A and B are shown apart, each in its own frame.
Chain A
């Protein structure tokens, strides 16, 4: 006679427990954990959980030898962890993935830029990313100190002049450009409105 098999104790999957805990965290002690972190965690766990239940995915993971599983886990894990550090620089390339991450209400939208005048009188826009094509993007000029902005204007003019010896830059103007998000009906401009903030004389070398 065989003894009846004892029913196995049912335990909820760890991910579901994590989801429940995070939901409690969000609901009760929001000040302890930023919603940006916990809210995303819930969604991500749900998505990963959906994949864990899908037989071909399980078959594929199970077919992996241990070393391969480690590589897969480390890469995906580091991406997720890097995102939750909310830090874009320290753990590069495991960065926080944020593009258009917050609402903007600034109107008009403004932007500082360098407009250079060459010896022949032509106007040239000096963009850091074009003068130094290696640099993917620089921070907006608004964030720099007046000294740093001047150093940058002179450095850009110097590099530009090295490549355009026949028509070098003589002066650089720091302009603030502005575009209204709600222009009056019928208003159309050939250029955004701009205002001179600072004038740098390049030819004098000062």
Chain B
């Protein structure tokens, strides 16, 4: 009896994140997500892609549906610049409530094209994919609200309405981690967690360098403590990845998950030049703000 009480005390409350979220929190989330996209776009000299060799261009996603002539036209400096400006402007409109379904849908299309474009010269890497899916969720639920208001027999459950996109975004973030962890465990097998695998990945990324280049990772074999940390850290991180869906329901787990995964992402930057700053900022949605601040609650 006492054991079960202690266990229950340790586990703490089990409650769905953002279940009580109200309009203001959804507005903040929309604003934050589109602001993040705008910052990313403002920092990107997209027009320079016109000078990259066309022979390396292998269209990703919806770009593969376009004819070669359209892609040729798109890959000119003026067109790339115009496309960038248009995407920024549309994302700007999507930050406001007026015309949100239309503006967010247009933003989703343009951001999909943009994300496909910047991946068409290499592998379709995972940075900012969840951020793009978050735009899909915001747009999709905005249309669902509209349809429900116009054609539904009863108005959408007013109180819960704002929780739908927020819970969905958190679910997608957690699912992405979960799938990464499952893939590594099942497809990679036990050998991923033994031997030199993690050092090899880290040295490889450290040698290659990307936009961020700390020039540290290739030295890892000289540091036994870091080698130990990498080897022992991979199974731990994989465990947290697979169990990420618990973030949806278990507040105490989130307080372990957030620092562990933030440390992992920061170490990935330092040792492997890989920076998932979009995901790190999306961690703000792993805090159940509406339970802490009554002003953000529904009703």
A contact set with B: CB distance below 8 Å: 35-36, 39-40, 43-44, 47, 51, 54, 56-57, 60, 63-65, 67-68, 70-72, 74-76, 79-80, 83, 88-93, 95-107, 109-111, 113, 125, 127-140, 148, 151-152, 155, 158-159, 177, 179-183, 187-189, 192
Contact = CB atoms under 8 A, between A and B. Distances in A.
Interface string B182-195: 11111111011011
B46 interface: yes
B183 A72 contact: no
Given A98-B183, A102-B187, A109-B200, A93 B176 contact: no
Contacts of A137: 122-123, 125, 210
B171 to A, nearest CB: 6
Given A92-B119, A138-B56, A155-B52, A100 B192 contact: yes
Contact of A183 (B15, B184, B222): B222
Nearest to A148: B55
Interface stretch (B3-11, B25-33, B159-167): B159-167
Given A129-B209, A132-B51, A135-B49, 12 more contacts: A40-B186, A54-B249, A68-B161, A89-B58, A93-B132, A97-B176, A99-B126, A102-B188, A110-B207, A133-B48, A136-B122, A148-B53
A150 B182 CA distance: 40
Nearest to B193: A103
Nearest to B115: A93
Q: Interface majority SS on B: helix, strand, loop or mixed?
A: helix
A192 B56 contact: no
Central interface residue in B15, B117, B137, B200, by most chain A CB within 10 Å:
B200
A40 B183 contact: yes
B136 to A, nearest CB: 6
Interface in B30-82: 43-46, 48-49, 51-53, 55-56, 58, 60-62, 64
Contact of B186 (A35, A79, A96, A189): A35
A37 to B, nearest CB: 9
What are the 10 closest A-B residue pairs judged by CB atoms, nearest first? A92-B61, A39-B186, A36-B187, A97-B179, A103-B191, A71-B140, A104-B200, A67-B144, A111-B207, A138-B122
B201 interface: yes
B133 A71 contact: no
B121 interface: yes
B208 A111 contact: yes
Nearest to A107: B196
Contacts of B184: 98-101
A6 B198 CA distance: 60
Contact of A89 (B60, B117, B145, B188): B60
B196 A181 contact: yes
A93 B112 contact: yes
B283 interface: no
Contacts of B144: 65, 67-68, 70-71
Contacts of A51: 245, 248-249
